[in-house]
Amino acid sequence: MNVLVTGAAGFIGLHVAERLLARGDRVVGLDVLSDSDHVPLKHARLARLTNPGFTFVQGDIAEPEVLERAFSQPVDCVVHLAARVGVRHSVAHPAPYIDTNLVGFSRVIEAARRHRVGHFIYASSSSVYGNNDQLPWCETHTTEQPISLYAATKKANELIAHSYSHLYALATTGLRFFTVYGPWGRPDMAFFTFAENILAGRPIRLFGHGAVRRDFTYIDDVANAVVALVDRPPARETSPTQTPYRILNVGNQTSIEVPRLIALLEEALGVAAIVEPVPMQQGDILATCADVSALEALIGPWHATPLELGVKRFVKWYRGEYRPLN
């Protein structure tokens, strides 16, 4: 297949592109290589994509001429992962989220429609569930009250995708990712900041005084799910409303308290952490947990990587490949 992956130099984008190339697909990777992420890390991710089936286009998804370059060859499927990420950052800096997550998303899905793409997969987020305390979260639960601008942009993406599926028969799949972690991740993520502070002897801020729980989902599991869905677009015939649209949770199905994560990092790093309990931050959610039965119905049994194993793999990469980049 010919697959366009936006955000190809990003965390999930890298892993998805690698797997698509490994199975013989041709991949066009689109990324702005902006300073919103650690730039040397983005270039290091991109350097891994040396397969001759990979073509890179640099540019902003909100720029029509950039999208025309990305769609210059036929595209069977779009995996749209380019976005401004981070709940807390969106509270202080809303404008870039509107530019990328709303304007950029709209232009990518419109380009997919014009170029008659067969399947449009895009990243949504578990944050759309807001402070719903009915765990585990199921795709049928209400998502009408997001508590951060980031979550609101992701909910808006789902609504835009539904309209495109209904009006233009564009097959769309939205994936609500739950706290993805692992090698080649983002430096602003808790795994990075916790590890860095532990090794430097600095305190770790423990939001919610240690009561916060997350469904930590290992990157390999996420990438495998995305690639498995590339070949499985929703069809009008399987939808009661004749709309080829669906939303799926992608998570570990386990809600783990953050102090447990810190303990696993201490064990893997061989250094004790200094913990500073602090209140919840604005826009944060107390607990997350995914129901993935809908995903399993499509791709088969879900064998999620345990956090204990995922943390060991992350620390091995962090010490061996990431730290020399700084």
Kind of pairing between the strands at 54-58 and 26-31: parallel
* Sequence letter at residue 115: H
Helix (H) or strand (E) holding 191: helix 190-200
| Residue 150 bears catalytic tag | yes
Neighbours of 237 (CB within 10 A): 7
CA gap 232, 227 in Å, rounded: 9
Q: Is 324 exposed, middle or buried (0-12, 13-18, 19+ CB in 10 A)?
A: exposed
CA gap 108, 79 in Å, rounded: 10
Contact indicator for 3, 78 with CB cutoff of 8 Å: yes
User: What is the separation of C-alpha 269 from the centre of its chain, rounded to a whole number of angstroms?
Assistant: 26
CA gap 172, 79 in Å, rounded: 10
CA gap 55, 26 in Å, rounded: 8
DSSP for 252-305, please give it: -S--EEHHHHHHHHHHHHT-PPEEEEEPPPTT--SB--B--HHHHHHH----PP
Taking alpha carbons only, the member of 219, 228, 215 closest to residue 295 is: 228
Catalytic residue among 150, 181, 318, 322: 150
CA gap 213, 216 in Å, rounded: 9
User: What is the separation of C-alpha 153 from the centre of its chain, rounded to a whole number of angstroms?
Assistant: 14
- Who's near 266: CB < 8 A, 6+ residues apart? 198, 272, 273
**Catalytic annotation, residues:** 150
